[in-house]
Amino acid sequence: MEVARRLHRGALRHPVQSQHLPGLLHEIRRAAARAAPRSGETAARVTLERKVQIGFAVAVVIIVAVGAAALRSTAATVASARWVAHALEVRGDLEAMLADLIDAETGVRGYLITGDTTYLAPYDSAGARLEAHLAGLRALTADNPVQLERLDSLATLVAVRLERFHWTIETRRSGGPGAAGRAVIGGRGKELMQLVRSIVGQMEDEEGRLLAQRSATLQTKARLARLAAWGGALVAVTLAVIASALISRELAGRRRAELALGETQTRFRQVLASSTAVIYANTVSGATFSPTWVSENVTRITGYGPDEPLQPSWWLDNLHRDDRERVLADMPALFANDQLTTEYRFRSKDGTYHWVHDESRLLRDAAGTPLEVVGAWVDITDRRQAEASLRASEERLRLLLGSVRDYAIYLLDPTGIVVSWNSGAEQIKGYRAEEIIGQHFSRFYTPEDVVAGKPQAALRAAADQGRFEEENWRVRKDGTRLWADVVINAVRDDRGTLVGFAKVTRDLTERKRAEDTLRRYAAELEASNAELNAFAYSVSHDLRTPLRGIAGFSEALLEDYADRLDDVGKDYLTRVRAASQRMATLIDDLLDLSQVTRSAMHIGPLDLSALASAIAADLTKRDSARRVEFAIAPGLQVQADPGLMRVALHNLLENAWKFTGRRSDARIEVGSVPHDGRSAYFVRDNGAGFDMTYVGKLFGAFQRLHGTQEFDGTGIGLATVQRIIHRHGGRVWAEGTVGTGATFYFTL
């Protein structure tokens, strides 16, 4: 009944555990056979009289066992008592030995003081007694290695002490009291005796511990002996009292067990009927199998009636012909190993084939003769289809990776050993798959990086962070180097265990060379620009002297010789003087442009609103006759070089001031708007504006969209603004309409 309950619980918890189903089936069938109605069951049952006889026999056995236990307990008590006496004897011998050694020391001391040889009597007899004590102790502690080790040390100290006594006595005899006193003072007698007492104390402590332990054991075993004696009597009385009760309960229990077993069998049939595993049994006769039983769910799973699976050829007839030869060839393994696991296709009643996983066990009798094969099979068609789909997916992935030649894609095991290799890796690295698989990936690193431990550091970073990426030099098979973009991803299983790494490498050598060339050209261009700016600064500076001469002499002619010049001459001189002044302004602007290009930058927080307000105040003060409305947004905060930003903003506001000069309702606005995720700052006016067709010329040096007769200027201001904004890593652009104004935007 208990077997049935256990099997029932197991079947409910794990209805499709194929590795356990054959054993479960065997026990189920045996339980069902035991529960089936059988003729002569009354005669087969154990009679009440027989049970009484068995009960009395058990009582006699228990009483004898209790008596034997009492005898064993008494013997153990006697043995424990002997061990207690043994510990006491050891302690007594230790104390006697120490007393003899102290007596010998006292006698020697008396002889040294008085010279009377009668004091040496204890010393003369001490040697034999001490030797006897040590021999006795060695015999008593032969079973205790720790005590024997201490006893060896004690014997050595006693021998040294006796030898010291002898030497002191001889010194007294030959040298007198003075020599003996000096010998005692300079000797180690006190230290030796302290060591002897220490070891004796340790041995006594050990024996004390053993004595306490053995005394406790003695008390325990004595108590057990008493308990055994009383227990025997109690068991005898108890057995007589409960015998009749047990017999009555047995009769009632038998009836309950039969009912429970019937219920269990019913539940098992229900469980098997709903299970996805078909359980079967075949008898064995030589190499022939005969079906004897199959679970009822075979009808639901395969569509065959309950009697069809019991036909001798049913299983073989429905086995797929392509699997038949293989499965039959596996049958000898069942007899060799007593178990067989196989997979094959099986035909259902409707003609469709399903993949099944079949596990069977061969049962033998005591002599080893095959009796029965029990087993179970489950439908694994879905799993097989999933495996086929996975294989197809893996094949597609393999083909895809094989066709990728611009990327080296390969796998590493957790230690960095190459385990796969695609054609792109072969092209980039130069190794064929058979050459590199099984090798450590560190061979792709430069020697200096290997010495620095970079390969292992990359794997650790990928394992810790899930991904590692870098650009660095790598080495091909032929020893040449390539600049590679490397990505390493950690690969983990469903439980999070690291199973390897996926590594992708892209050859960026040509891009690296192009970037290096571009950087070299940029450096050369920067050097050329620096030289050009220096040249422009020098030329502009040198032009100031002749211009000052032209302007000065022109002014002198107009002032000192005006009466000698006709109107045409005066007009020419006026034109010369205006041209020289314009040239001076142009030179100043060129010097400013050169300065903003060459000056060092000091980036820091800057209040753009306050700076614009200060420039607006300067412009208003310079031309107080004009009425211009300034609308400057508050709180415009930027990170910029204060000096350069003042120059840029001054040029923008001065341009707005200039080009609104012909409007009575002039308005200049400074603010910001969102642009590509950051702020774009602007200076807007309602002045002359410009045609957007020519917007590309606005920021070129000396480029002007208005003649000097309309608006003065050199065409350098906006070029200066652009250089300043570019030095800040920003962008500047303009929007405008002729007659309605212009807006200049910039970012930083």
The residues spanned by each domain of the chain are: 2-30+276-385, 62-240, 404-507, 508-598, 601-746
The pLDDT score that the predictor gives to residue 522 is: 78
Closest Cα partner for 211 from 221, 200, 203? 203
**Residues 309-368 pLDDT 10s:** 889 889 999 999 999 999 999 989 999 999 999 999 999 999 999 999 999 999 998 888
Query: 561-585 pLDDT, tens per residue?
Result: 878 888 888 888 888 877 777 777 7
**All residues at 6 or more sequence positions from 592 whose CB lies less than 8 Å from its CB, including other chains:** 647, 716, 720
Q: Residue 200 pLDDT > 60, yes or no?
A: yes
pLDDT of residue 468: 97
CATH code, residues 404-507 = 3.30.450.20
Domain 2-30+276-385 classification at class level: alpha beta
Q: In the chain, what percentage of residues exceed pLDDT 70?
A: 77
Higher pLDDT pick, 744 / 34: 744
The model's pLDDT over 66-107, given as tens digits with 9 standing for 90+, comes to 667 666 766 666 666 677 677 777 888 888 888 888 888 888
Cβ neighbour number for residue 92 with a 10 Å cutoff = 14
Per CATH, domain 601-746 is 3.30.565.10: yes
| DSSP helix/strand/coil, 220 | helix
Q: Pick the closest to residue 598 from 527, 518, 523 (CA basis).
A: 527
pLDDT confidence of residue 89: 79
Task: Classify residue 285 by its DSSP letter.
Answer: E
Dump pLDDT digits (tens) for 263-293: 776 766 666 666 778 889 999 887 788 899 8
Whether the predicted pLDDT of 43 surpasses 60: no
SS (H, E, C) 428-452: HHCCCHHHHCCCEHHHHECHHHHHC
634 in helix, strand or coil? coil
Q: Does residue 145 sit in helix, strand or coil?
A: helix
Report the alpha-carbon distance of residue 578 to residue 190 in Å, rounded. 124
User: In the prediction, which pLDDT does 567 show?
Assistant: 84
739 strand-pairing partners: none
Same fold, 2-30+276-385 and 404-507: yes
CA dist 676 and 672 (Å) reads 13
- If one counts every other C-beta atom within 10 angstroms of the C-beta of residue 724, the result is 28
Give residue-wise pLDDT tens across range 714-730: 667 888 899 999 999 99
pLDDT of residue 548: 77
Rounded to an integer, the average pLDDT of 498-513 is 93
CB under 8 Å to 262, separation ≥6 — which residues? Answer: 35
CA-CA distance, 649 to 682, in Å (whole number)? 10
Q: How open is the CA angle 228-76-74, to the nearest 5 degrees? A: 45
**62-240: which CATH architecture?**
Up-down Bundle (1.20)
Question: Rounded distance, CA 507 to CA 425, Å?
Answer: 10
- pLDDT tens digit sequence for 665-705: 999 999 999 998 899 999 999 998 898 888 888 887 666 66
pLDDT at 470: 95
Q: Which of 589, 599, 581, 600 is closest to 536 using CA atoms?
A: 589
Q: How confident is the model at residue 397 (pLDDT cuts 50, 70, 90)?
A: low
Q: How many CB atoms lie within 10 A of CB 709?
A: 6
String of DSSP letters for 491-554: EE-TT--EEEEEEEEEE-HHHHHHHHHHHHHHHHHHHHHHHHHHHHHHHHHHHHHHHHHHHHHH
pLDDT in the model for residue 73: 64
Q: Which residue has the tokens 């840029």?
A: 648
Q: How many CA atoms lie less than 13 Å away from 124 in the CB half-sphere? A: 6
Q: Give the model's pLDDT for residue 705.
A: 63
> Which pLDDT belongs to residue 1?
34
Question: DSSP string spanning 370-434?
Answer: EEEEEEEEEE-HHHHHHHHHHHHHHHHHHHHHHH--SEEEEEE-TTSBB----HHHHHHH---HH
Q: How far is the C-alpha of 682 from the C-alpha of 655, rounded, in Å?
A: 13
What's the pLDDT score for residue 500? 96
CATH fold of 508-598: Helix Hairpins (1.10.287)
CA 571 to chain centre: 90
Q: Shortest CA distance to 443 belongs to which of 470, 489, 478, 483?
A: 478
Interatomic CA distance for residues 722 and 715, integer angstroms: 12
What predicted TM-score, i.e. pTM, was given to this entire model? Answer: 0.36
Residues ≥6 apart with Cβ < 8 Å to 59: 235, 236, 239, 240, 243
Amino acid at 671: G
Q: What is the pLDDT of residue 630?
A: 96
- DSSP per-residue string spanning 686-717: -SS---GGGGGGTTSTT--SS-TTTS---S-H
516-571 pLDDT tens trace: 888 888 788 777 667 666 766 676 667 767 777 787 878 888 788 878 888 888 88
